[in-house]
Structures are given as structure tokens and as C-alpha cells.
Amino acid sequence: MERRKVIQGLRDFADFLENNPEVKAPAAPNKYFVRVHTVQELVIATKLLGDATKGADDTSFYVERDFGTFKVQYFLPRGNVCTAKTVTKITKMNRILVPAVTEEVDVEVEATDWDCPKSLLALVEESKP
């Protein structure tokens, strides 16, 4: 979506709520997700957001800021920022269903941990030639 349209839509909605106090505002906090394409873009967003929180989940590395009743999260796939490392291999039981037969087998899977940078800015500085 065009940046201009997003900004105008947010302003229009804010004006609508302000001018129509009889209409309820959204009750639940909302979150806007913005996917960036490079670590540098994430660093820029982090600097401009100011009081942002850094975090990671199963798939993403992100920074987010609370804007009162909603949050904005800028994110990248975790593998673009963090380094995967195998901490151990574990054996877990898998159940395989075959028509009329159930068989349980042990399979070995890797337990992965992630090393994420303490500073995004330092990561960008390290990658400069």
C-alpha cells in the first residue's frame, strides 16, 4: 500500500473518532506489522521509533513501539539478523499413521537456539566494508 494512503487513512480514522464521540473506538489494542527487507532498514526504524522494544519470536526479529492503544512492529525474518546454532540433538517420539496400523518410531531432531545481536547498529557497522 502506498505510504501516503496509509498516513491519510490513519488520519481520517482519528478524525472520525474525534468528531463522533458517540461511536466506540476499537476496544482491543491493535498491532501494525511492517516487514522491512534489510537490517539497515530495521536500524533506521529503530532509531526513529525512539523508545522501542526489541524482540524475537519463532520466525521474526523485530522492534516495536507502543503508540497508546496500538503498537507498530517492524520485523525481518529471524535468520536475516540472528545466527542459528544447534545446541543439542534430541530424540523424540513420532507417531506414524498407516491405514489400519499405527507405528511409533524415534527420530532425531536438532534443538536450535538463536544468537541475536544486542545492538542492531553494531551489526550494521560490522558489515560495512
Q: Give the confidence band of 20 by pLDDT, cuts at 50, 70, 90.
A: very high
pLDDT exceeds cutoff 90 at 129: no
Q: Record the pTM.
A: 0.65
pLDDT, tens only, 62-72: 999 998 888 99
Strands 60-66, 70-77: parallel, antiparallel or unpaired by DSSP? antiparallel
pLDDT for 128: 61
Region 19-40: mean pLDDT is: 88
Domain ranges of the chain: 3-78+120-127
Q: What is the pLDDT of residues 71-88, one digit of tens each?
A: 999 999 998 888 888 778
